[in-house]
């Protein structure tokens, strides 16, 4: 408030030339006009920003929903990956309370079970439709874009109806999430009216008639409910996705979300077939396994019919575009090396060091800690990925390979999943930096990473927070959560 007063005081002195007599009546009139103008502008803004309450409804009878609609809603909720943010690992599904760190402060996800007091049990379908389309809750309060309504706005009324039916037939859970921890002015929800004016492009989705039906289905799922761009597109300083850099790579829960456009760092370029296989199974022989927040995504997408997976793959592959001649030739070379390498290694297993490697401090570490799986004879998914194929080793930022080496890949309970031991207790920061430098030099043509030891130290200490969860149902998470920091926050 003090700052505001000072500004007005300065404005006043600028408007009244020094040394002139001020007529008090004229000055008061002048002030009154200014005040009225301010009020008019404020009222105008308020009128634009104001969203009314939608009347609460009495308890909705779960049996009133059509079974097919609920089943359709379950698939759509899987596309939206709703459960990942709206569930604290180990706690009841959809009951909210997960801490979502943002550059502006911490936001806690809401309870979207049909509990009337702490959840959305008294929301009408109209209120749910409005939340998805406009990012406003039943009471008329603006929701923060941590809830990706800038993507969900594209969802059709019919699909929102199915999602509503699915959520309203879940088990109601009485649980109120903690208060958001946001400093002024971000704690003022009204400022989101301005954010929405700038960054919310209201839906629903409009198909591109020049494209196939499958492409449009994929675009609808990927850009809308799937909200791929929420992680895979970089954000500007207002926290909005930067649409000029669509799918150019972003960040999620301490993990790098790789570029999935023409700048994808995958050594063998993705195509629609490999994408579909990966989204369906959570791994691909030329690309490795999904992990970090993407493991939840591929875990959820397993619920989708093949045609929807194929549609998403077709759309994303078209955004990536056809690789150029150089990348295609390199890919063929890599594929040939892999098939030769597997035969050669079968004959002489374990230590896959080359002449001259002995000088590199990372070479011996690699040979005893990594080569057993990653240069062994077993193909994926039973063996590890050859690092010449690894997007992590070829990516511009080493964060993901740091996360995996430090914390490993925790196994899922009772189902097949990727697994890797954690090396945090074996390697110190410099040893890990040596190892990663060796892998980069040996398995990538990209320039060396810089300041890796420092990055390892910050990731290990939790100063840089990384959420580490198994690939399976997030409800069973906490015993498998390995990282300090983010994951612990999530349990609190």
The contact set with other proteins (CB under 8 A) reads 351, 353, 363-365, 367-370, 372-373, 376, 410-411, 419-421, 423, 425-428, 431, 479-480
What SS3 class is residue 355?
A: coil
**Burial letters for 171-202: b for 16+ Cβ neighbours within 10 Å, e otherwise?**
ebbebebeebebeeebeebeebbebbeebbee
Q: Which value, in Å, is the radius of gyration of the alpha carbons in the chain?
A: 26
What distance in Å separates the CA atoms of residue 385 and residue 220, rounded to the nearest whole number?
Answer: 32
Question: Based on CB atoms, which residue is closest to other proteins, 191 or 426?
Answer: 426
Q: How many helices (H) and strands (E) does the chain have?
A: 21, 6
Question: Based on CB atoms, which residue is closest to other proteins, 272 or 369?
Answer: 369
**Beta-carbon-side half-sphere exposure of residue 162 (alpha carbons within 13 Å):** 19
Shortest Cβ 293–other proteins spacing (Å): 21
Shortest Cβ 334–other proteins spacing (Å): 24
Which residues in 266-402 belong to E strands, given as ranges? 283-284, 288-289
Shortest Cβ 212–other proteins spacing (Å): 44
Q: How many CB atoms lie within 10 A of CB 265?
A: 18
Question: Based on CB atoms, which residue is closest to other proteins, 214 or 357?
Answer: 357
What distance in Å separates the CA atoms of residue 249 and residue 122, rounded to the nearest whole number?
Answer: 38
Sign of CA dihedral 214, 219, 224, 226: positive
Q: Give every CB contact of residue 2 below 8 A, 6+ residues apart in sequence.
A: none
Shortest Cβ 455–other proteins spacing (Å): 20
Question: Based on CB atoms, which residue is closest to other proteins, 346 or 368?
Answer: 368
**Burial letters for 295-307: b for 16+ Cβ neighbours within 10 Å, e otherwise?**
bbbbbbbeebeee
Report yes or no: 247 and 235 within 8 Å, Cβ to Cβ.
Answer: no
Shortest Cβ 288–other proteins spacing (Å): 16
Shortest Cβ 101–other proteins spacing (Å): 24
Cβ-based burial of 63 (10 A; exposed 0-12, middle 13-18, buried ≥19): exposed
Shortest Cβ 338–other proteins spacing (Å): 19
Shortest Cβ 97–other proteins spacing (Å): 20
Question: Based on CB atoms, which residue is closest to other proteins, 139 or 368?
Answer: 368
Shortest Cβ 435–other proteins spacing (Å): 9
Shortest Cβ 258–other proteins spacing (Å): 26
Cis amide bond preceding 270, omega within 30: no
Cβ-based burial of 386 (10 A; exposed 0-12, middle 13-18, buried ≥19): buried
Phi-psi region of 96 (alpha: psi -120 to 50; beta: other; left: phi over 0): left
What's the start-to-end Cα distance of the chain, in Å?
34
What distance in Å separates the CA atoms of residue 338 and residue 320, rounded to the nearest whole number?
Answer: 24
Question: Based on CB atoms, which residue is closest to other proteins, 137 or 352?
Answer: 352
Question: Based on CB atoms, which residue is closest to other proteins, 146 or 367?
Answer: 367
What SS3 class is residue 421?
A: coil
Tokens of 302: 């397993």
Question: Based on CB atoms, which residue is closest to other proteins, 167 or 405?
Answer: 405
Shortest Cβ 84–other proteins spacing (Å): 21
Cis amide bond preceding 371, omega within 30: no
Question: Based on CB atoms, which residue is closest to other proteins, 155 or 405?
Answer: 405
Question: Based on CB atoms, which residue is closest to other proteins, 28 or 419?
Answer: 419
Look-up: residue for tokens 């390979």? 401
Question: Based on CB atoms, which residue is closest to other proteins, 83 or 369?
Answer: 369
């Amino acid at each position: 408030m003090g700052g505001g007063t000072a500004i007005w005081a300065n404005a006043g002195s600028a408007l009244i030339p020094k040394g002139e007599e001020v007529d008090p009546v004229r000055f008061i009139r002048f002030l009154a006009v200014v005040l009225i103008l301010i009020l008019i502008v404020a009222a105008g803004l308020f009128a634009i920003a104001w969203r009314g309450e939608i009347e609460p409804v009495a308890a909705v009878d779960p049996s009133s929903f059509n079974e097919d609609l609920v089943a359709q809603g379950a698939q759509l909720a899987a596309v939206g990956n709703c459960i990942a943010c709206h569930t604290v690992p180990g706690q009841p599904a959809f009951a909210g309370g997960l801490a979502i760190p943002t550059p502006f402060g911490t936001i806690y996800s809401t309870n979207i079970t049909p509990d009337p007091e702490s959840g959305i049990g008294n929301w009408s379908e109209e209120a749910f439709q409005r939340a998805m389309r406009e990012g406003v809750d039943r009471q008329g309060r603006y929701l923060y874009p941590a809830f990706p309504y800038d993507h969900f706005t594209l969802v059709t009324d019919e699909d929102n109806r199915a999602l509503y039916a699915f959520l309203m037939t879940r088990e109601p859970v009485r649980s109120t999430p903690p208060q958001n921890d946001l400093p002024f002015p971000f704690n003022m929800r009204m400022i989101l009216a301005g954010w929405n004016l700038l960054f919310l492009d209201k839906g629903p989705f409009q198909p591109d008639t020049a494209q196939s039906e499958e492409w449009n289905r994929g675009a609808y799922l990927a850009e809308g409910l799937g909200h791929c761009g929420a992680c895979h597109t970089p954000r500007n300083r207002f926290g909005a996705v930067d649409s000029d850099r669509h799918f150019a790579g972003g960040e999620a829960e301490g993990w790098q979300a790789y570029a999935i456009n023409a700048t994808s760092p995958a050594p063998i370029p993705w195509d629609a077939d490999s994408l579909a296989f990966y989204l369906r199974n959570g791994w691909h022989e030329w690309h490795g396994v999904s992990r970090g927040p993407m493991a939840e995504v591929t875990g959820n997408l397993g619920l989708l019919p093949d045609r929807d997976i194929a549609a998403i793959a077709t759309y994303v592959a078209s955004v990536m575009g056809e690789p150029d001649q150089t990348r295609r030739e390199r890919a063929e070379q890599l594929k040939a090396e892999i098939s030769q390498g597997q035969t050669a290694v079968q004959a002489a297993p374990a230590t896959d060091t080359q002449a001259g490697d002995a000088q590199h401090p990372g070479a011996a570490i690699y040979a005893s800690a990594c080569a057993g799986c990653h240069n062994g004879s077993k193909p994926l998914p039973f063996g590890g990925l050859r690092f010449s194929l690894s997007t992590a080793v070829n990516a511009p930022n080493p964060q993901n390979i740091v996360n995996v080496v430090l914390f490993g890949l925790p196994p899922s309970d009772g189902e097949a999943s990727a697994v890797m031991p954690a090396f945090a207790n074996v390697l110190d920061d410099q040893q890990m930096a040596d190892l990663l430098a060796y892998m980069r030099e040996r398995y990538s043509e990209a320039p060396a990473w810089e300041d890796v030891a420092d990055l390892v130290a910050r990731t290990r200490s939790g100063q840089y927070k990384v959420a580490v969860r198994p690939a399976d149902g997030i409800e069973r998470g906490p015993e498998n959560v390995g990282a300090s920091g983010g994951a612990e926050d999530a349990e609190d």
